[in-house]
Chain A
Amino acid sequence: MSGTRYNYGTAMLSAFEYLLDKYPEVFVIGQGLWSPWYVGNSMTDLDKKFGAHRVIDTPVSESACTGAAVGAALAGMKPIVVHPRMDFMLYAMDAVVNQAAKWSHMVGGQASPGLTIRTIINRGGEQGAQHSQALHAWFAHVPGLRVVMPATVADARDLLIASVLCPDPVIFIDDRWLYDLEDDLPPVIERSLASEQPQCLRSGTDLTIVASGYSTRLANQAAEQLQLQGVLAEVIDLRVLNPFSPDSIVASVSKTGRLLVVDGGWSPCGMAGEVIASVVERVTPSLMKKSPVRVTLPFSPAPTSRVLEKAYYPTEGMIVLQALKMMDKAC
């Protein structure tokens, strides 16, 4: 692909610049926005370019800032809230779950808070249980929230723009472990978030691997390893977790007969379980060659000690191992 070279972080930066430049009703509010190290290279100097009145660094008040963005959205603005770590966003759950998500339905579709909440999964580095969580499944459980997880450089830019232009509340979850991904991007095309679907990143005939966010990167890497061993994996990136559209995954599993889901969250009531259930409900049973498998976190909080931390997160190797088992290949 020809175009301008970006990485995942600068792709988001370019989305912010595009939105702030083109839409006067866009503003950004959150903690760390005037700090060069809170949000990587994804928001560098936005306050200097567009003014501190539109790129607002705030008091330590996740709840009020998120609620304020809901109110500003109802008043015609397109706010972007930034939570540099998802864990701290839990203070804002009333504004997200009770207010933003329910508003359109509660008022009969006559108003909708079109705000985007950009929240970052920022784990590893011995940060432990309260600096590591990936709670996308919580948000995907709630009617009224659109939940977006970009796994590619293109989506980091284009899905952020689509989220902000969407009239619904959107939880946009990016991942610090993806910031070094690079790609060439064409000029921006504005997309309607409501039409965005899971995307097939790699075609294959032996099994279907479904993932989102950083897990998609792992799935891609695992698929390359599997190919070396003669296993052709199809990789589907979820992109939009809510509302979740399983059609392309159902079609893929109907072809491969095997479903492996990788998720950076916990298993119980999680996204991997939702994908498997949605597929199993729809695929003709005789087409399934194996029971579906999920690769997720152990059901425990994130540890700090490096030995435990290394064992905690899913790896490319774990995915390869599970895939080979599903193919009845010795390993």
Chain B
Amino acid sequence: MNNWSFGSLAEPSQYQHPIDVSGLDTPTLLAQLQMMLRIRLAERCLADGRRDGLIGGPVHLGVGQEAVAVGIAAELRKTDRVFGAHRSHSHVLSMGSSLHRLFAEILGRDTGLSRGMGGSMHLWDQPNGFYGSVPIVSGTVPLAVGAALAAKLQGSGDVGVAYLGDGAVEEGVVHESLNLARMLKAPAIFVVENNFFASHMHISLRQPKESTARFAAANDIPYEVVDGNDVVKVRLAAARLISLAREGKGPGFLEAVTYRWYGHVDWREDIDVGVNRSSEDVNSWRKRDPIARLVAGLQAVGLIDADQLAAMEEEMAKEVADAWNMAQADAYPPLSALTSRVFADTGVTQ
């Protein structure tokens, strides 16, 4: 990379081409398309639910970024240890979590992923490999390193995955974590979703260089920088880094260049979107849509036709609507949950 600049990768008018799917197995590609659609429609549903006042707390939506988690998850297994952040609906769903339980969580219901105690910003689905997400920027990055270290001590061959944003690398603990993971040879995979914005601030106002992979280089960690809106490219890069980690060669760092279509938080597209963010850029990035590009790539080689796509979209829309309706009918946590879950000894664990 030239002086840690993304070059054309940062140009919204570039990389709008159909995704090259040659040589990849069709069922996986179709499953990835379906998962991206599920995530997209789920987040659209959440945007509406928040706008309409049905959701009480903040939702950080990642519409436009679906390919990152879906590409990574294709290389993960249920015994891996994935940690997310504030914008983690895609991370948890990509691991195979229940849409109904995600919605129930965000609606504060007892059936939710975190038993209604976490909301959108504290998601948990350890049985599916999702160890947890938190909104403290970079808060889970060292946790993922520790879960990776545990995998090494346990000899399990599993990896820890830390999803973080470009803003998180401005937190000191990320640098400690990179160094520590490298020195302990912990099988930790750092996935930076670089969408150019930390809340409202463009990266050019926060860092001297665009690419956060420079911090991987500084810590002697293998890294890849990819088009984050190309699920195939993300998956192939993840496969290389994750296989190294599973073989005991230590951590890896994947930077996926992407873009969020909504503002930092909630459903609006016109406020809290960011300093230095033009509508032309947003519209160009919409044409870099990871879903539309995968559809175009699949259509180009005859792997999906219009009817099949329509059927898939209809199926996902129904799944989302059903899950949303079911979650809204669920019960809230009992009042006893206020104090009974503080310590494990008194926690509700069934």
Q: Which residues of A contact B (CB under 8 A)?
A: 27, 53-54, 56, 58-59, 61, 63-77, 79, 94-95, 98-99, 103-112, 114, 143-144, 146, 166-168, 192, 194, 243
Q: For the complex, give the distance between the alpha carbons of A54 and B160 in Å.
A: 19
A112's contact among B112, B151, B333, B344, by CB below 8 Å, is which? Answer: B344
Chain B residues whose C-beta falls within 8 Å of the C-beta of A143 in the assembled complex: 342
Q: Which among A27, A104, A109 is the interface contact of B153 at CB below 8 angstroms?
A: A27
Known: A107-B115, A107-B122, A109-B348. A79 touches B146 (CB 8 A): yes
Closest 10 CB pairs of A and B: A108-B115, A67-B142, A71-B146, A109-B347, A68-B146, A71-B143, A64-B176, A112-B344, A75-B150, A61-B176
Check if B176 sits within 8 Å of A63, measured CB to CB: yes
Point out the residue from B112, B116, B136 that lies within 8 Å of A94, measured CB to CB: B136
Supposing A104-B343, A167-B344 touch, asked if A94 and B176 sit within 8 A by C-beta, the answer is no
Q: State whether B146 touches A94 (Cβ < 8 A).
A: no
B143, A70: Cβ atoms closer than 8 Å:
yes
Contacting pair B142 A53 (CB below 8 A): no
| B132-158 interface bits toward A, Cβ cutoff 8 Å, 1 = contact, 0 = none | 101010011111111111110110000
Q: How far is the CA of A56 from the CA of B349 in the complex (A)?
A: 32
Within the assembled complex, what's the spacing in Å between the Cα atoms of A65 and B147? 12
Instruction: Say whether B176 contacts A66, CB under 8 Å.
Output: no
B312-350 interface mask toward A, CB cutoff 8 Å, 1 = contact, 0 = none? 000000000000000000000100010011111101110
- The CA-CA distance from A67 to B180 in the complex, in Å, is 11
Q: What separation, in Å, do the CA atoms of A27 and B184 have in the docked complex?
A: 13
Q: What is the distance, in angstroms, from A143's C-beta to the closest C-beta of chain B?
A: 5
In contact, B176 and A110 (Cβ under 8 angstroms) = no
Chain B residues with CB under 8 Å of chain A are: 81, 83, 112, 114-118, 122, 124, 126, 131-132, 134, 136, 139-151, 153-154, 160, 172-173, 176-177, 179-180, 183-184, 186, 333, 337, 340-345, 347-349
Given the known interface contacts A63-B172, A74-B131, A98-B134, the answer about A168 and B344 at a Cβ–Cβ threshold of 8 Å is yes
**In whole angstroms, how far apart are the Cα atoms of A73 and B143 in the complex?**
9
The 8 Å CB contact of B146, one of A70, A106, A146, is A70
Q: Which residues of chain A are near B140, meaning CB under 8 Å?
A: 71, 99
* Nearest B-chain residue to A195, judged by Cβ: B345
Q: CA–CA, A167 to B344, complex, Å?
A: 6
**Complexed CA–CA distance, A54 and B150 (Å):** 11
In the bound complex, do residue B341 and residue A108 qualify as a contact, i.e. CB atoms below 8 Å apart? yes
Query: B142–A110 contact, CB under 8 A?
Result: no
| Chain B proximity of A94: nearest CB distance (Å) | 6
Total CB contacts across the A-B interface at under 8 A: 174
Known contacts A54-B153, A77-B153: does B118 contact A107 (CB below 8 Å)? yes
Contacts of B131 in A (CB 8 A): 71, 74-75, 111
Complex contacts, B118 vs chain A, CB 8 Å: 106-108
Cβ A71 vs Cβ B144 within 8 A: yes
Residue of B nearest to A77 (CB): B150
Closest to A101 in B: B342
Which residue, of A56, A106, A143, has the highest number of chain B Cβ atoms within 10 A? Answer: A106
- In the complex, 14 of the A-B residue pairs with CB atoms within 8 angstroms, ordered by the A residue number, are A61-B179, A64-B177, A65-B180, A71-B143, A72-B153, A74-B81, A77-B154, A95-B143, A105-B341, A107-B132, A109-B348, A110-B126, A144-B343, A166-B345
Nearest Cβ on chain A to B68's Cβ, whole angstroms: 21
B146 touching A108, Cβ below 8 Å = no
User: Nearest chain B CB to A23's CB is how many angstroms away?
Assistant: 12
Contact present for B139 and A71 (CB under 8 Å): no
CA separation between A65 and B146, bound complex, in Å? 8
A64-B345 in contact (CB<8A): no
- Chain A residues with CB under 8 A of B172: 63
Question: Other CB < 8 Å A-B pairs besides A64-B176, A109-B115, A111-B126, 7 of them?
Answer: A70-B142, A74-B131, A74-B143, A94-B139, A98-B134, A105-B117, A106-B134
> Looking at the complex, which one of B160, B340, B345 makes contact with A71 (CB distance below 8 Å)?
B160
B115 touches A71 (CB 8 A): no
Which A residues lie within 8 Å of B136 (CB)? 94, 98-99
> Given the complex of chains A and B, what is the CA–CA distance between A63 and B184 in angstroms?
15
